[in-house]
């Protein structure tokens, strides 16, 4: 009964490096989302997916890529890290019919130096 699992929890990247933030859910949810939260700001949607094989851009997609080859996994890729990508990243999933809204992962704190 893991819910939404995000890894890693913390990461420091150098400018120009690449990395993948992993997100896995075991609830068979169709909808998955990646958000970033900057200090003092609300969550901003980066990318989302309504099902395996389908992804779409959110509010702030530049500098990121995603894939959804299975229902369970929704990794977020940063190709050329920039200091502006320093943030806390949350992955979330949603069944689409549940009465309980989102289920969030515990977050990844990323610092780009």
Partner 1 sequence: EDKVVQSPLSLVVHEGDTVTLNCSYEVTNFRSLLWYKQEKKAPTFLFMLTSSGIEKKSGRLSSILDKKELSSILNITATQTGDSAIYLCAVVNYGQNFVFGPGTRLSVLP
Q: What distance in Å separates the CA atoms of residue 84 and residue 82, rounded to the nearest whole number?
A: 5
96 binds partner 1, rule: CB under 8 A: yes
How many residues belong to the chain? Answer: 113
**Block residue for tokens 């992955």:** 91
- Build a one-symbol-per-residue string for 15-54: x at contacts with partner 1 by CB under 8 A, - elsewhere: ----------------x-x-x----xxxxxx--x-x----
Nearest to 21 by CA among 49, 47, 11, 29: 11
Residue 86: DSSP 8-state: -
Q: What is the rounded end-to-end Cα distance, in angstroms, of the chain?
A: 36
Residue 101 in the binding site for partner 1 (CB under 8 A): yes
The alpha carbon of residue 45 and the mean position of all alpha carbons in its chain are separated, in whole angstroms, by 9
Taking the complex as a whole, the smallest distance from the CB of residue 50 to partner 1 amounts, in Å, to 7
Q: According to the binding rule CB under 8 A, does residue 105 interact with partner 1?
A: yes
- Ranges within 54-73 binding partner 1 (CB under 8 A): 58
In angstroms, what is the minimal distance from the CB of 71 to partner 1? Answer: 15
Tell me which residues touch partner 1 (CB under 8 A).
31, 33, 35, 40-45, 48, 50, 58, 90, 94, 96, 99-107
């Amino acid at each position: 009964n893991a819910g939404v699992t995000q890894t890693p929890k913390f990461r420091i990247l150098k400018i120009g490096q690449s990395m993948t933030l992993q997100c896995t859910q075991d609830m068979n949810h169709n909808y998955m989302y990646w958000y970033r939260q900057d200090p003092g700001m609300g969550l901003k949607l980066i990318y989302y997916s309504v099902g395996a094989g389908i992804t779409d851009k959110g509010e702030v997609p530049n500098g990121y890529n995603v894939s959804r080859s299975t229902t369970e996994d929704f990794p977020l890729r940063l190709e050329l890290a920039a200091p502006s990508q320093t943030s806390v990243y949350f992955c979330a999933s949603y069944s689409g019919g549940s009465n309980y809204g989102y289920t969030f992962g515990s977050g990844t704190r990323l610092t780009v130096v």
